[in-house]
Amino acid sequence: MRSRSSTLARVTVLFTLLALLLPTLRDLRPYARLPAEAPERIRAGVADTFIAESADSAEPAETG
């Protein structure tokens, strides 16, 4: 038989991990319903976002 403190510690760890993972699982939920071609669209969207962010963060060239 386990002691009560051991059981309480296990339950506490379980709920702590669940609380930490729940926001991540919520972020992934919309992608679960996408059609089969979605990965290409997601990659394209990520690439477009990366290119846009790179262009925004690039310093303008000095013209002299």
Residue 63 maps to a domain: no
Indicate the pLDDT class of residue 4, thresholds 50, 70 and 90: confident
**Tokens for 26?**
């919520």
Residues 6+ apart with CB under 8 A from 57: none
Residue 22 maps to a domain: yes
Residue 60 maps to a domain: no
Residue 57 maps to a domain: no
Q: How far is CA 6 from the centre of its chain?
A: 32
Residue 40 maps to a domain: no
Number of domains making up the chain: 1
Residue 9 maps to a domain: yes
Residue 14 maps to a domain: yes
pLDDT top residue among 15 and 55? 15
Q: What is the pTM of this model?
A: 0.37
Q: Give the range of the structural domain holding residue 10, as residue numbers without chain letter.
A: 1-31
Q: Are 38 and 30 in contact (CB under 8 A)?
A: no
pLDDT at 46 (0 to 100)? 62
Residue 42 maps to a domain: no
